[in-house]
Structure formats: structure tokens, C-alpha cells
């Protein structure tokens, strides 16, 4: 495991880190103490990049710290009540040690009390888990670890820094979930019990969405985050996911188990395709999470076999409801709904040897919500490999391979086909602009998709019956 001195050496390797060390020296000269805290220390000791720097300053009153920081540039006050400042051009938070306490029952938020005279052991009690409670004195390089964070880091354990203060914010339960997924860490039994008593309804939807975003986009093993939610009892507060538990599947297609088990396997496999889906990675991961939301309502035994007919279309509305409670954007909600509706398409197009027009129309549908077909294929691929069939175990997905090849050949993998016939072509034919324009253009688009024609005059001639 890296040493604190290794983290300080890493800071010296870039301009931001060197400026921070210079400011820390100035703070020390003013009889203060600058301590690197939080995730930067945790990640540095894990051997990961040190970023998102947070500096806690001890021994200086707010006015003195603000004047000192002004020596290095214009000071931006993030929130004087919270005791947080930034120097313009420096992506670093400087803060004072503080006590947080929850407001009276029936009210949201926290009362913040800044106290430059707190010692580090007391100030760090408000940190959520022990691996986030460590600090490094920037002047001496000393590791400050009053709550056993380093031992827990080495053991791969998530444990509350302080069982009493942990319960002040229900969001911390979701932070534990995303930490479990990101670091592949176990959760201490006491922490599981504490989190199980939280009511997440107290939280703003946007805060919940942000933790899901981190879990899905940063998690190395997303299933661990959702398993923590299940074991703690918190998954019941996400009914669309909880409903997947114990929904049986045909063992021929899903020998791995119920819909919940399959979904978690699919999420873990989807991690491999996050990077190639780029800016659409969040939609892809939510698409995988939600892809079988329609199965609880559609699963039944037909002719001795378990079937979920129409579950793809039935899953779109539960996906929208799930995202709406988290105040997700209309764009993300629309994208996830389309991915859920069409997640079977790549395999079906291969089985049915679908004609080019099917690819063109599907590309248009997904382009309308800002998605290329490659994202849909990634969802389908995660669905396919999130099971224990022989084909999945052998790493084969011929349906997805064929779908990508055909979409690329038809030049619709990344973009929808551009309309060949435009309004100006109709005007050139002597037609007057009217409501009929839209109907004619729609028929031209259908013919273009059907035939692959690129000549606007040839398309118009057929549509107008000339």
C-alpha cells in the first residue's frame, strides 16, 4: 500500500498540487494547519490518482483564512455558512472543521457549526465511513487516522466512522452502496443495520440519482451495491427493482436464476462496455438495470414453459416511473425507455433476418432520443451475457455481432439515415406548402427506408404516382 509521502510526492508532480503545497506552507506560517482529507487520501492509499482535493484548515478563524487565500488569487465563497472557499483558477476546496447536526424532526437539512479549534479526531467523526476519515498533514506528511481507516482499507471493509453521527443523513446509505460497488468492499454488519433504518423518501430525487450515477458509472461490480441495498432492506424503497426478486425464468434461457439475479449479472457484464458507449454510458447502464422491469407483470406459464411475452414493451413505463422519482432529465428517461422497449431487437433481427428497412426505422427511433444503435446493442449484449447458458459462457453473441455488422453496412450504426426528400424538392415540383407536405414527406421517408433509394426525384415519382 502506498505511503502518505507517496501521495505528497504525487501532489508535487502537477501545478495544482504544487500550488496547494505552497498555500499549505503559508497556512502553517500563520499558525494554522492544512490537512488533505477525504477521498483524495483514500484513493491515494489505494494507489489510485489523487484528485478532487479537499483541504481542511485548523487553527485559523474564517476571516483570517479568507485573507490568507486572497494572497493567491480572487477568493470564491462556496458557502460562508458551510466554511468553504476556493481560489479562482484552483480546483480545490478549502474548508474549516465543523460539526454537523440534523435539524429538528419534520425539517430537512443540517445545522453547520464551524470550529477552527476542533482537533482532527473530533472533526473527522462526521465523516461517513472510516476509509474516508483519514487525513494527511500537508506540512509534516503525517497520516491522521484516529478511526482506523487504514486498517479497514487494507481489509476491504466499509465501517461507520461513528455509529451515532452516521445516521444524520440517509444519503449515506446510498454512498455505502456505491462504495461497495466501486471498491469491491464488504459492508460491516453494524453499518448494514444502521442503513436499514433509513427512510430514503427524505432525500431529494436529484441526490439519489447522483449516487446511482456513481454506482453505475464507477462501480467495478455494480451487483455488490444492489446486494447491499437488498440485504439492508433498502431495496424495498425501489419497488421496480425489488419486484424482480423471485420472479422465475425459463431455465433453458436463464439457468442462472430469477430476474433479479439475471439483472445483477447483466450489470456486472455491462461494465465492460461503458467506455465504448461514451457519453451514453449512463443511459446504457440504466437500460441494463431496467431492461426486465416488465417481467414481473408479464411472466406466466404457457404450455408448460415460463414466458414473459411483451415484457420489453411493458417495461418502459416502470422505467420511466423509477427515473421520475429521481428527477432524471426527460432526455435520460426517454433514452432508457427506448432501450428497454427495444432490448430484444438485436437478437430478434438476427433470428428473423430482418430487412434493411427495419434497421433504418430502428435507427430513426433511437436517433429521435439522441442514441446511436451501438448503445442498444451494448444493452442487448449485457442481457445476453448476464446468464449462464453455454453460449454466454463461451463468449458468443452472434445476434449482436450480426446486428452491428448490418447497422454498419447500412451506415446507421451511429446515425439515422438523413431524409433524402425535403420540402424544397416538393416546391420544385410546383406543390404549395400545406399540411399535405408532412404526409408526403412521411411517405417519402417510408419509401426511402423500404428501398434504400437515395435519389429524391425517384422517390417522389413513386410517392406521387408519376
Question: Residue 25 maps to which CATH number?
Answer: 3.30.460.10
**Domain-embedded: residue 46:** yes
- 42 with 96, same domain: the answer is yes
The reply to whether 338 and 261 lie within a common domain is yes
Q: Does residue 416 belong to any structural domain of this protein?
A: no
Same structural domain, 361 and 448: no
Q: Which of 205, 237, 269 marks a domain boundary? A: 237
C-alpha pair distances (Å), 363 with each of 48, 170, 352? 39, 41, 18
Residue ranges for the chain with pLDDT beneath 70: 79-82, 100-112, 466
pLDDT at 455 (0 to 100): 86
The reply to whether 418 falls in a domain is no
The whole-number pLDDT of residue 140 equals 92
pTM: 0.90
Same domain assignment for residues 326 and 228: no
Instruction: For residues 319 and 301, state if they share a domain.
Output: yes
Given 197, 215, 237, the domain boundary residue is 237
Whether 224 and 253 share a structural domain:
no
Give me the pLDDT at residue 464, please: 84
Residues 37, 174, single domain; the answer is no
Question: Is residue 405 domain-shared with residue 283, that is, in the same domain?
Answer: yes
Please report whether residue 444 resides in a domain: yes
The region that residue 283 occupies, defined by phi over 0 for left and psi between -120 and 50 for alpha, beta otherwise, is alpha
Residues 145 and 47 in one domain: yes
pLDDT per position as a tens digit, 320-378: 999 999 999 999 999 999 999 999 999 999 999 999 999 999 999 999 999 999 999 99
Q: Residue 126 and residue 309: Cα distance in Å, rounded?
A: 50
The pLDDT tens digits for 380-410 are: 999 999 999 999 999 999 999 999 999 999 9
Residues 278 and 365 in one domain: yes
157 found inside a domain: no
Number of domains within the chain: 4
In this structure, are 266 and 373 located in the same domain? Answer: yes
Domain membership of residue 161 (yes or no) is: no
| Separation between Cα atoms, residue 211 and residue 170, nearest integer Å | 12
- Domain-embedded: residue 154: no
Q: Quote the pLDDT of residue 81.
A: 58
Last residue of a domain, one of 187, 212, 237: 237
Q: Are residues 257 and 377 in the same domain?
A: yes
Q: What is the pLDDT of residue 465?
A: 79
Provide the residue range defining the domain that includes 176: 170-237
Whichever domain contains 212, its CATH number is: 1.10.110
Is there a domain that residue 381 lies in? yes
Amino acid at each position: 500500500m502506498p505511503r502518505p509521502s507517496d501521495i505528497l510526492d504525487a501532489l508535487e508532480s502537477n501545478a495544482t498540487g504544487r500550488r496547494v503545497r505552497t498555500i499549505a506552507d503559508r497556512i502553517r506560517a500563520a499558525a494554522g494547519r492544512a490537512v488533505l482529507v477525504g477521498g483524495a487520501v483514500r484513493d491515494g492509499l489505494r494507489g489510485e490518482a489523487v484528485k478532487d482535493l479537499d483541504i481542511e484548515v485548523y487553527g485559523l478563524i474564517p476571516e483570517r483564512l479568507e485573507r490568507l487565500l486572497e494572497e493567491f488569487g480572487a477568493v470564491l465563497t462556496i458557502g460562508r455558512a458551510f466554511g468553504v472557499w476556493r481560489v479562482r483558477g484552483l480546483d480545490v476546496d478549502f474548508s474549516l472543521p465543523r460539526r454537523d447536526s440534523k435539524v429538528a424532526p419534520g425539517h430537512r437539512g443540517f445545522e453547520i457549526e464551524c470550529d477552527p479549534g476542533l482537533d482532527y479526531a473530533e472533526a473527522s467523526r462526521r465523516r461517513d465511513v472510516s476509509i474516508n476519515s483519514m487525513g494527511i498533514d500537508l506540512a509534516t506528511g503525517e497520516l491522521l487516522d484516529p478511526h482506523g481507516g487504514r486498517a479497514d482499507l487494507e481489509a476491504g471493509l466499509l465501517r461507520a466512522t461513528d455509529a451515532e453521527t452516521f445516521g444524520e443523513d440517509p444519503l449515506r446509505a446510498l454512498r455505502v452502496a456505491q462504495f461497495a460497488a466501486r471498491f469491491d468492499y464488504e459492508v460491516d454488519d453494524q453499518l448494514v443495520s444502521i442503513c436499514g433504518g433509513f427512510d430514503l423518501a427524505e432525500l431529494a430525487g436529484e441526490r439519489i440519482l447522483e449516487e446511482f450515477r456513481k454506482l453505475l458509472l464507477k462501480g467495478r461490480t455494480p451487483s455488490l451495491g444492489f446486494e447491499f441495498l437488498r440485504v439492508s432492506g433498502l431495496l424495498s424503497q425501489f419497488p421496480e427493482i425489488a419486484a424482480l426478486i423471485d420472479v422465475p425464468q425459463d431455465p433453458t434461457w436463464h439457468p442462472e436464476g430469477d430476474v433479479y439475479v439475471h439483472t445483477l449479472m447483466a450489470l456486472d457484464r455491462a461494465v465492460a462496455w461503458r467506455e465504448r458507449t461514451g457519453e451514453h454510458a449512463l443511459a446504457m447502464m440504466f437500460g441494463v438495470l431496467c431492461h426486465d422491469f416488465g417481467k414481473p407483470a408479464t411472466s406466466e406459464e404457457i404450455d408448460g414453459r415460463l414466458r414473459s411475452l411483451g415484457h420489453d414493451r411493458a417495461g418502459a413505463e416502470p422505467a420511466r416511473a423509477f427515473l421520475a422519482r429521481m428527477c432524471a432529465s426527460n432526455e435520460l428517461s426517454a433514452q432508457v425507455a427506448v432501450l428497454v422497449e427495444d432490448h430484444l431487437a438485436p437478437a430478434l433481427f438476427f433470428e428473423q433476418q430482418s430487412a434493411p428497412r427495419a434497421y433504418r426505422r430502428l435507427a430513426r427511433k433511437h436517433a429521435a432520443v439522441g442514441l446511436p444503435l451501438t448503445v442498444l446493442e451494448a444493452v442487448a449484449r449485457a442481457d445476453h451475457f448476464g446468464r449462464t447458458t453455454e453460449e454466454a459462457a463461451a463468449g458468443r453473441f452472434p445476434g449482436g455481432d450480426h446486428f452491428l455488422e448490418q447497422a454498419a453496412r447500412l451506415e446507421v450504426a451511429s446515425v439515422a439515415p438523413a431524409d433524402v426528400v425535403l420540402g424544397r424538392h416538393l416546391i420544385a415540383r410546383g406543390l404549395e406548402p400545406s399540411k399535405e407536405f408532412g404526409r408526403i414527406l412521411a411517405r417519402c421517408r417510408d419509401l426511402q427506408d423500404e428501398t434504400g433509394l437515395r435519389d429524391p426525384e425517384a422517390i417522389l415519382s413513386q410517392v406521387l404516382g408519376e
